[in-house]
Structure formats: structure tokens, C-alpha cells
Chain A
């Protein structure tokens, strides 16, 4: 597809379970970002990949959160032992270059609900 694709679009899970959220960036984009958005707030930075490596993971709230991008394309955000406070929309973005120099394009997000 032409845009950033995120799956699933909605995920409901029970407290304590493990979840994986997937992001397919625009082909050829080397930079990939994960954000989290709570109701009424702007997106909050989680992690940034340049190629396969996590260049900045300072936004991950704790060690229950982890993300990978093994081949420099698709990325997976993994959340262990989910808590109700993890409920939010998780947004993925990609851009042609890293370093904040080029336009970022966002996916439609995954709405995670922890019950």
C-alpha cells in the first residue's frame, strides 16, 4: 500500500496479557516512530528507529514496553503484562530520512483497550 499500515485497528485484551502491535511503514522509509495518544492529548513519543536499530527509546514508559524492527521495515511494539493504564491509541509513523528532517506520515493507529 501507499501509506503506513497498522494492524490490528482495534485490540481488546485482559489485564496482565501480552500484546503485539504491528506497523508497516511506507516502502523505502528508513525512519520509523511509535507514539501513544490518550484521549484529548497530543501524541506522546515512545521510540524511534533508524533502520534496524532503536536510535532513541527514551519515551518507553517502563520495561514492559519493547519494540523491534529486525529487517529495517516492519516494526512490532510489544507490551507485556498489560495494565489498564496502557489503554490508548498507538500510532506509528515513517519518514524518508531520520533526524526529523523530512515529512512524517502516520498510520491510522491501533486502539488498545485493556479490561
Chain B
């Protein structure tokens, strides 16, 4: 059974810092891994999708990497801004289920 873990559970950093969010999954037989952002009381916004054959994806200040063999993915946020404050969720996709971690609550201090 796939389990997804995200570390840390919460993170507060000053504006402008670069930061890394970690995600690990127990079953490496995934089709892809997806990172989402969730603002309080809102739905999920897809940030990046990494196919299992890829090692990384980039979108603006975001870079996500995937190491299937070790069951790890990281989301790198460059030059953080207060507007980046949200919960970030990673999800491992295989077959008919998307399995989520519990998320990292990120707070960027102005």
C-alpha cells in the first residue's frame, strides 16, 4: 500500500530565502508525482507534474525533482515571497489512485 510522507509538517522562513520541501513515498512503481498548492479553505492548485521517466520539472521559481529508486521528491522554491504562504501537498499517482501526503504548511515572513 502506497504511503506518502511530507517533511517538515510546517515551516516558517523569512521572505527572500530559498527553501526545500520534502516528499517520500513507499512504492516506487508510480506513473507520476504531482505537487499541489492549497490555500486556506480552497481547493488544490496543480503546480508541477513529474512523469516517472523524468527527473525534474521547472515552473518559474519552482523546481521539483524526482528520484523514483529512492522514493523521494523535493520541491524547491527560490526567492520566497509572502504570497507563497500556503500548504504544499505532494501526491503519488498509480493506477486509479492518487495518494497524498499530509502536506507542509509554509509561512513566509515579510
Contact = CB atoms under 8 A, between A and B. Distances in A.
A94 B99 CA distance: 15
Contacts of B31: 99-101
A108 B34 contact: no
A100 B98 contact: yes
A56 interface: yes
Contact of A42 (B34, B42, B102): B102
Chain B at the A interface: mostly helix, strand, loop or mixed? strand
Nearest to A6: B43
A105 interface: yes
Given A99-B31, A100-B94, A101-B31, A106 B102 contact: no
A54 to B, nearest CB: 10
Interface residues of B, number: 26
A16 B20 CA distance: 45
B36 A45 contact: no
B79 interface: no
B43 A107 contact: yes
Interface string A94-115: 0000111101111111010000
Contact of B95 (A93, A100, A108): A100
A109 to B, nearest CB: 5
A42 B99 CA distance: 9
Interface in A60-115: 91, 93, 98-101, 103-109, 111
B103 A55 contact: no
Contacts of A109: 42-43
A95 to B, nearest CB: 9
A113 to B, nearest CB: 13
Given A99-B31, A100-B32, A103-B49, A43 B96 contact: no
Nearest to A100: B93
A100 B43 contact: no
Interface in A18-40: 33, 35, 40
Nearest to B30: A100
